[in-house]
Structure 1
Amino acid sequence: MKKLVAISIVGLAVAGCTPTQQGAAVGAGAGAAIGAVATGTAEGALVGAAIGGVAGALVGRVAENSDDCYYRDRYGRRYTARCPDGY
């Protein structure tokens, strides 16, 4: 039960991040897991987290540079829609 609560809190915290930050967080987590399994050491997990974080941030950055524009409605909620022509 404690693991489920911890994962839920982390998931909610990441939900408020930009795509670049989300990509970095997911990449770092996946890289750490893969590095730990592949090497069986803490150093492998750290190297995997570093490499995964950088790779995830790059992927997230590309996702931010799409042809969509970001808007906010009257309640402050952020949403995306296709940009008008000329942008």
Structure 2
Amino acid sequence: MRVAKIVLLLSASLGLAACGSTPGTRAVTGGLLGAGAGAGVSAVTGGRPATGALIGGGVGAVGGAVTH
């Protein structure tokens, strides 16, 4: 559980650092970071990394596209 918290904190830090200047670049960087974070968290918690990557990538892309 402690490792999962560390991974979540690191992924949140990376997400905040990956700002882009257009919605497209924010969507791409958010999707990539979300996919990596989702796969990592899923692997650490005993889930399927591919499923975590898909969910994290989707959430990251949408989050990056709608933020300013």
Q: TM-score, normalised by structure 1?
A: 0.49
Consecutive unaligned residues in structure 1, runs of 5 or more? 1-13, 67-87
Instruction: Count residues with an aligned counterpart.
Output: 48
From the two aligned structures, give the one with the greater strand fraction: 1
Taking every aligned residue pair, what percent have the same amino acid on both sides?
A: 44
What CA RMSD, in Å, does the superposition of the two structures yield over aligned residues? Answer: 2.3
How far the C-alpha of 1:56 sits from its partner, in A, is 0.1
Structure in which a larger fraction of residues adopt helix: 2
For structure 2, the residue ranges without an aligned partner over 5 or more in a row are 1-17
Which gives a bigger RCO, structure 1 or 2 (Cα 8 Å, sep 6+)? 2
Could you list the structure 1 runs, at least 4 aligned residues long, displaced by more than 3 angstroms after superposition: 14-17
- Point out the structure with max Rg over C-alpha: 1
Q: TM-score, normalised by structure 2?
A: 0.62
